[in-house]
């Protein structure tokens, strides 16, 4: 069947162009298969002219069905000749902010909550006793698209303490630092993958009730707290760092 040439089945020359191939009759439909892959189907509009041309083409078939075992094989051979399959991949060059956002608090497995040290402009993780629940930092988490391809439970997010104060990452020597940095909402609407502004973004991933927050700019570095009660630091660390906790409950 691979040697079948539809031109051999027609009286017309190979240079003949069907009249229904005019661009004005072409229609394209796009079906989204996943976040980064679409199925694009291009076909001619259904008109009486196209039906008539199809009937004429069928009547011009010279070869008998003897070389095919069934009508299905003949149809498949014809379709192999006239249907062209092309795969398109979306190329994302930037992260765009979604309109949705939500308020949340973070708590590690040792029941440490995040608080803000105003004097040092740093986040700290402490075990809050009764009556001090209002000291927790209420983060505003904003989602960005497109989401990563690795998992349906993973998304790119911005974590904000106030309207213009956000978590960000920087690097000194071989160590990634967690900062609180001021930046206007307008500048964070769209962030190019190639810009330094990706320092504000984190990959939020996890299952059920525990999530990790990995730096987009510095892959392999995660927001973490200490497993020791006396250590109140909130820092970036690598996933296998000793005495650091990288999984958090997200409470809304």
Q: What is the pLDDT of residue 36?
A: 59
Query: What sign for the dihedral angle of Cα 234, 236, 237, 239?
Result: positive
Q: Is the pLDDT of residue 81 over 70?
A: no
Q: How many CB atoms lie within 10 A of CB 211?
A: 20
- In the three-class reduction of DSSP (H, G, I as helix; E, B as strand; rest coil), residue 51 is classed as helix
Strands (E), the chain: 26-34, 37-44, 88-89, 94-108, 113-117, 122-126, 139-145, 155-162, 165-172, 175-182, 190-192, 201-207, 210-215, 221-226, 234-238, 244-245, 248-251
> Residue 14: CB partners within 8 Å, gap ≥ 6?
7
Interatomic CA distance for residues 120 and 127, integer angstroms: 19
Contact between 238 and 224 (Cβ < 8 Å): no
Distance CA 10, CA 78 (A): 12
* Helices marked H in 60-139: 71-82
pLDDT tens-digit readout, 102-151 = 899 999 989 999 999 988 889 999 999 887 888 999 999 999 987 555 44
* Highest-scoring range by mean pLDDT, 8-17, 38-47, 238-247: 238-247
CATH 2.80.10.50 maps onto the chain at 94-251
Does residue 9 have a pLDDT over 70?
no
Using one digit for the tens of pLDDT, what is the confidence trace for 175-226?
A: 999 999 999 989 999 998 888 999 999 999 987 789 999 999 999 999 999 9
Q: How far apart are the first and last CA of the chain?
A: 61
- pTM, full prediction: 0.63
Q: How confident is the model over 45-51, as a mean pLDDT? A: 69
The domain over range 94-251 is classified in CATH as 2.60.40.10? no
> What's residue 39's pLDDT?
67
Q: Which of 147, 108, 145, 132 is nearest to 232 (CA)?
A: 108
């Amino acid at each position: 069947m691979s040697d079948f040439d539809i031109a051999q089945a027609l009286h017309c020359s190979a240079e003949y162009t069907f009249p229904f191939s005019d661009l004005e009759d072409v229609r394209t439909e796009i079906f989204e298969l996943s976040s980064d892959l679409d199925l694009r189907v291009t076909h001619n509009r259904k008109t009486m002219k196209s039906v008539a041309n199809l009937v004429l083409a069928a009547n011009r078939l010279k070869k008998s069905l003897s070389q095919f075992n069934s009508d299905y094989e003949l149809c498949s051979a014809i379709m192999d000749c006239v249907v062209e399959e092309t795969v398109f991949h979306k190329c994302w060059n930037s992260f765009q902010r979604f309109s949705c956002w939500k308020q949340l608090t973070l708590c590690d497995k040792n029941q440490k909550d995040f608080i803000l040290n105003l004097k040092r402009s740093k986040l700290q993780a402490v075990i809050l006793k009764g009556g001090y629940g209002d000291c927790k930092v209420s983060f505003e988490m904003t989602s960005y698209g497109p989401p990563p391809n690795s998992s349906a439970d993973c998304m790119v997010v911005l974590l904000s303490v106030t309207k213009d104060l956000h978590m960000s990452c920087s690097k000194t020597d071989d160590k990634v630092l967690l900062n609180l940095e001021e930046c206007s909402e307008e500048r964070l609407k769209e962030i190019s993958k190639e810009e330094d502004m990706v320092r504000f973004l984190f990959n939020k991933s996890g299952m059920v009730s525990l999530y990790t927050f990995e730096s987009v700019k510095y892959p392999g570095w995660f927001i973490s707290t200490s497993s020791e009660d006396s250590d109140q630091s909130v820092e970036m660390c690598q996933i296998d760092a000793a005495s650091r906790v990288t999984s958090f409950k997200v409470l809304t």
